[in-house]
Amino acid sequence: MTMISGLKNRLRRVARTVRHLPDRLLHGRRRAAARRMLANVDVRQAVFICHGNINRSAYAAAAFTRSLPAQVRDEVRVSSMGFIGPDRPASDLAQRVAHGRGISLGGHRSRLLDGPELKQTDLIVVMTQDQKNAVMNLLRPRPGRVLILGDLDPHRIDTRTIQDPYGHPEHVFAQVFDRIDRCTDALVEAIWPHRRDS
C-alpha cells in the first residue's frame, strides 16, 4: 500500500512537471514581451481580475497601489473585479495575511466584470490564461491591454498562473501573496522604470 501510494505521488509530480514545462521554458520570453508591452502603455486606469474577486485580485490591486511611485499615485485609478459573486468582502484569510503585510482589505467588496469600465481601462491584469481568454472574448480589447500577472515574476516559475488560494490554509495564502507582491513590484517597475520612490 505504501509503495503504491509513493508511486502514485511520484507519477503525479512527473505529470505536473510535464504539464507545466512550457510555462517554465517560455517564462523568460513572456516576461520580456510583457515588459516591452508595458513600456509603451500610459497607465491611468488599471483593473485586476480573478475568479471571485475576494482573494487574488483584491490583494493585487492593493499591493499594486502601495507600490505606485508617489509622483503618480493620485493619477492612477486602480480597481479589481471578478467573474462571480458581487458585493462580498475579501475572505477572512486574505484579510489576515494582507494585514500582516500592512495592507487592509477590510473595506473591499467584490465586483463583477464591468464591460464599459474595462473598455476604458488602460491595463487589465488577470491571474490565468483562461481569464485572459475570457476577457478578450467578452470585450475584444486591444491585445496589449491584457496581461497575465505571473508573466512578470522575476523568479523561476512552476506555472504562469497565480494560484487561487481559496479553500487552502493560511501558508498557501502567504505563498500566493508573496508571488503577487513580486509581480506587482515588477509591474510598477516596468511601467515607471525611473520613477520609483527612493
Write out pLDDT tens, residues 120-137: 999 999 999 999 999 998
> Global pTM?
0.90
**Residue 14 has what pLDDT?**
65
% residues pLDDT > 90 (the chain): 79
pLDDT tens for residues 49-60?
999 999 999 999
**Over 80: is that where the pLDDT of 195 sits?**
no
Give which of 42, 73, 75, 78 is closest to 59, Cα–Cα.
78
For residue 122, how many C-alpha atoms fall within 13 Å in the half-sphere facing its CB? 15
What is the CATH T-level fold of the domain 2-191, as seen in this structure? Rossmann fold (3.40.50)
Sequence spans of domains, the chain:
2-191
